[in-house]
Amino acid sequence: MSDSSALIAQLRRLAAGTDPAQAVAAPADAWLTDGLGRAQLHDIYAVEDDDGPSGAGFGIAAALAAGAMPLLWLRTEACERSQGRLHAIGLIELGLAADSLVLGVVADDTALLRAAADAARCAGLGTVLVESVGRAPGFDLTATRRLVLAAEASGVTILSLRIGAQPTPSAATTRWGVTAVPSIALDQGGGAGAPGMPAFDVECLRRRGGPAGQRWRVEWDRDAKSFRGASLSGAGLSVASDRAAARHPAAPVRRTG
């Protein structure tokens, strides 16, 4: 069967709800300790434009939790202008080693999609983080399904980071909304008042083959390479329809150890 015929057949199975991949999706809670599922495509939406760095931090942390290294970060020149250049010290603080990251900056969304498709076939990579700003209409259902097919064949995890965009249909296994939240100040070992671990407010907006809508307030434990946190009350927050509600006061974070 040709690549195009295989793509059409799998798109039809997706639309009919009969794709075998739909039946084997891991529970949504599993990402807290194991990161996002490998060899799949995951959409990450920044709830507000200013949440772009938090969306990137969440994606990097999820890749580290899954052990999906090295990481290729692809972004457009528009991303460089609107989001700023990468901050090496901040990435190291997250636990991302300098020799585990390759950065690629391309001219526009067309070049970004082409580079992502090529990278998704490279089995030597662990994760490809594809960062875009605005609508990025090229990342439609057909294009993202091609990325999924490549990821399944190579074992590479693809994270599509969308900033300043409304959620649109895609072939992603999961879709997440991410909001920046203040970290909890350290209160032990003489560190009172010092900044705590990076924190995120995340919602599972879509999960293939399972329920979505649950939200968590989580911290990223760099040493353990794992998230830890607590579920938030109210599971119906939508990144598309109620952006302001994402910033309501946090539930306490459950600490371990």
Please report the pLDDT score of residue 196 as a whole number. Answer: 85
Judge residue 14's burial from the number of C-beta atoms within 10 Å of its C-beta, 0-12 exposed, 13-18 middle, 19 or more buried. middle
pLDDT in tens, 79-93: 999 999 999 999 999
Give the chain's domain count. Answer: 1
Please report the pLDDT score of residue 191 as a whole number. Answer: 55
Would you say residue 143 lies in a domain?
Answer: yes
Extract the tokens encoding 199. 């924190």
Would you say residue 113 lies in a domain?
Answer: yes
Neighbours of 16 (CB within 10 A): 9
Would you say residue 170 lies in a domain?
Answer: yes
Show the domain range for 232. Answer: 38-238
Specify the CATH number for the domain of residue 218. Answer: 3.40.50.300
Q: For the chain, where are the alpha helices, taking DSSP H only?
A: 3-16, 31-34, 52-66, 77-83, 88-94, 109-120, 141-154
Extract the tokens encoding 42. 């995951």
Would you say residue 17 lies in a domain?
Answer: no
pLDDT in tens, 11-56: 455 444 444 444 344 565 777 788 899 999 999 999 898 999 999 9
CA distance 18 to 93: 42
Please report the pLDDT score of residue 153 as a whole number. Answer: 97
Q: Helix count (H) and strand count (E) of the chain?
A: 7, 9
Sequential pLDDT tens for the chain (257 residues): 455 555 555 545 544 444 444 434 456 577 778 889 999 999 999 989 899 999 999 999 999 999 999 999 999 999 999 999 999 999 999 999 999 999 999 999 999 999 999 999 999 999 999 999 999 999 999 999 999 999 999 999 999 999 999 999 999 999 999 999 988 877 655 556 677 899 999 999 999 887 788 899 999 999 999 998 867 643 332 223 233 333 333 333 332 33
Phi, psi of 81 (to 5 degrees): -75, -45
Would you say residue 150 lies in a domain?
Answer: yes
> Angle, to 10 degrees, between the axis of helix 141-154 and the axis of helix 109-120?
30
Would you say residue 90 lies in a domain?
Answer: yes
Quote the pTM value: 0.79
CA distance 141 to 163: 18
Would you say residue 252 lies in a domain?
Answer: no
Would you say residue 251 lies in a domain?
Answer: no
